Amino acid sequence: MKVGGDYIKFENVGDTVTGQVLSIGAHKWEDGSVSPQLVLSTAEGEKTLTAGQVRLKAALAEKRPNVGDTITITYADLEKRAGGKTLKHFDVKVVPGDGFITSAPVAPASTAGVDPAVLAALQAQLGAKSATPF
């Protein structure tokens, strides 16, 4: 696997990347096509993964990772196709997170500016005992 300019490129069968999903977006190519783009927090730092390969796009669409999930992507196989073309196959595993990014500090919840009647009703609904409902 090659990481060029903080971008991940799968070059050899067996190349693997694991990281926590920091953001999910889209990359628009010059021809107008669009590919999923994920920013991952890996052991080597933040890396960007642009899923331009058709099998990787399909695997991501099937697994549907969310921000905060931990994802492992492995370049599993190279299929030789007619006309000298090739097709990369990927294994994608997603471990659901809690929706929070662990690499960034989480600020305590604040009730400042919240109507006290609305806060009390929410606390009653949730059975909350503290001033902060979350």
* 54 and 74 inside one domain: yes
* 95 and 116 inside one domain: no
| Amino acid type, 64 | R
Is 24 a residue whose pLDDT tops 50?
Answer: yes
CATH number at 63 reads 2.40.50.360
**Could you list the residue range(s) of the whole structural domain that residue 114 is in?**
104-134
Q: Is the pTM of the predicted complex or chain greater than 0.85? A: no
* 50 and 97 inside one domain: yes
Say what the pLDDT of residue 74 is: 96
* 110 and 95 inside one domain: no
Say what the pLDDT of residue 115 is: 59
Name the band, by pLDDT with cuts 50, 70 and 90, for residue 4.
very low
Q: What is the mean pLDDT of residues 20-43?
A: 91
* 50 and 31 inside one domain: yes
Domain total for the chain?
Answer: 2
- Cα distances (Å, whole numbers) of residue 24 to 31, 36, 65, 81, 116: 21, 7, 9, 31, 36
Say what the pLDDT of residue 32 is: 87
* 89 and 50 inside one domain: yes
